[in-house]
A and B are shown apart, each in its own frame.
Chain A
Amino acid sequence: MRSHQTYTSPSATTFKDRSCEAGKERQTTTLLAADDIRRAITRIAHEIVERDRDLSLLAIIGIRARGDALAARIQAAIRANEGADVPLGAIDITLYRDDLTRIGYAPVVRESLIPFSVDGRVVVLVDDVLFTGRTIRAAMDALVDYGRPRAIRLAVLVDRGHRELPIRADFVGKNVPTAAGDDVRVHLAEVDGRDEVEVVARVPA
């Protein structure tokens, strides 16, 4: 079927069809620089403590792969501000995804690590980007398999909108209006070697 396409005339290689570039060409803008990320985390840490003053009930659980790094930073910020060590955990939501039967391969499952009982605690779930809300749904399902938290709250570095489920964040680093096709890329020193949040916009067709 495709055999006629294997021949490429010399002129075809120089001809650039702009319509082929639609949806491909990208414009990258920095949304948060390293300093902005640091400030956002400090502010979120303060807000968490203001909301639930009883630190003995608090626990912070990050969603892998970048939420866990952010969770550790928030925990460190609470320690610096309040002098209290809040229990820290990491949760992997792969087995709770709602698209496992559709994607056609088995995504890598990482180990969840929750070295304390979540029963009766106020658990702050931490993720890097809040988008459709499906990851958070999966994380809540996973979390209740560990026990019955008194409350679950949600902290995210970036809320980019386009929710598909009735979920909202309690603590937000930055709200950003985006197009559905845009990419929001969070780079964190622990995972990617640098701190930066970028938006990669697609050129509309």
Chain B
Amino acid sequence: MKWTRRHVLETDDWSRDEIETVLDQTHAMIEILQRPIRRAPPLRGRTVILFFAEASTRTRVSFELAAKALSADVTNITASGSSVEKGESLYDTVRTLEALGGDVVVMRHASSGAPYFVAERTHAAVINAGDGWHAHPTQGLLDAYTLRDALGDLDGKRVVIVGDVLHSRVARSDINTLIPLGARVTLSGPPTLIPTAWRCGQLPPGVTYESDLDRALDGADAVIALRLQRERQESGLLPSLREYSRVWGLAAERVARMRPGAPVMHPGPMNEGVEIDAAVAHGSRSLIEKQVTNGVAVRMALLYLLAGAPTPSGAPAPATSSEASA
């Protein structure tokens, strides 16, 4: 199929075809990462701006490696040490990014919806690298790729997502990517950390909630543990991290309730001993390191597809915007 999207903001309105196109291109990109020279030329002369207004190491580095593997020029703007800290508005930052001639803006922001705001105001293609509690589409796609690679096909497969679903953009993007591919998702976690509507039965199609993690894991095809932010305990949503670990932590005997060999994933960074035991995180079922490698390939696939997509006027993306720099 011909790729027509200009931005990657969230996969909630993507067709199965579009998601599979990204996953298939990811497969081709993985081969480039295994070559002696891990670099191909399709984005030569293009500029990718990494605009991270919220702390991130692995996602930013992953995008940087992806852009460089496709020969793009990469520029970093982080919130600390930039004019964002001096009080520059998001709109002014966008104008600056325009003036710098970025072809693709990869952005992470603490406010949900910020990438949509930017996408409406720039000629560049925008990739959401995480916005507030809303979405983290590249994580959803890399999780879908990793699962498809491990399970062969996601049709009819049941994936358990356990932890702080309420505050997790990863959980939402995982659901939005896995469901169109034919998977079913079982959510599990403390009721205080599940969105009220979902806990009360108003769930998206294909998604169920099971408060008992052992029952959720029985016969499951895979499990994704979410990171527990330690602040959640202080805000009174959890009695203690020890109790969380005992009831919701992925321990070896729990993981064994799944289908034999069913994989374990985690978006990182992990709190070992809280949401996942070290023995599970580094055990034979763990795909956690694979997720990191696949993350680079997924981002390469997206950068490649976006750089080639037509601009609204139908012409290829302009190299720079003279209007913005005026």
Contacts and interface: CB of A to CB of B under 8 A. Distances in A.
Contact of B28 (A103, A105, A109): A109
In this complex, the interface size class of chain A, counting residues with CB under 8 Å from chain B, is 20 to 34
Chain A at the B interface: SS class: loop
Interface in A94-114: 94-97, 100-113
Interface residues of B, number: 31
A105 B42 contact: no
Interface in B27-42: 27-32, 35-37, 39-42
A103 B316 CA distance: 7
A107 B308 contact: yes
A92 interface: yes
Contacts of B39: 145
A15 to B, nearest CB: 33
A105 B316 CA distance: 8
Interface string A132-147: 0000000001100111
B41 A95 contact: yes
Nearest to B37: A145
A102 B316 contact: yes
A94 B304 CA distance: 11
B35 A106 contact: no
A204 to B, nearest CB: 30
A95 B38 CA distance: 13
A106 B40 contact: no
B40 A145 contact: yes
B41 A106 contact: no
Given A95-B42, A101-B316, A147-B36, A106 B304 contact: yes
B315 interface: yes
Given A104-B310, A104-B315, A96 B31 contact: no
Contacts of B31: 111-113
Contacts of A112: 28, 31
A16 B88 CA distance: 65
A104 B308 CA distance: 6
A110 B29 CA distance: 9
Nearest to B25: A109
Given A95-B41, A105-B310, A145-B39, A111 B28 contact: yes
Given A95-B42, A101-B316, 13 more contacts: A94-B42, A95-B304, A100-B42, A102-B316, A106-B309, A108-B24, A109-B28, A109-B304, A111-B30, A112-B31, A142-B40, A146-B35, A146-B36
6 contacts: A95-B42, A102-B316, A104-B315, A105-B3, A106-B307, A112-B31
Closest 7 CB pairs of A and B: A106-B308, A95-B40, A109-B28, A95-B42, A145-B37, A104-B310, A111-B28
Interface of B: 2-4, 21, 24-25, 27-32, 35-37, 39-42, 45, 70, 304-310, 314-316
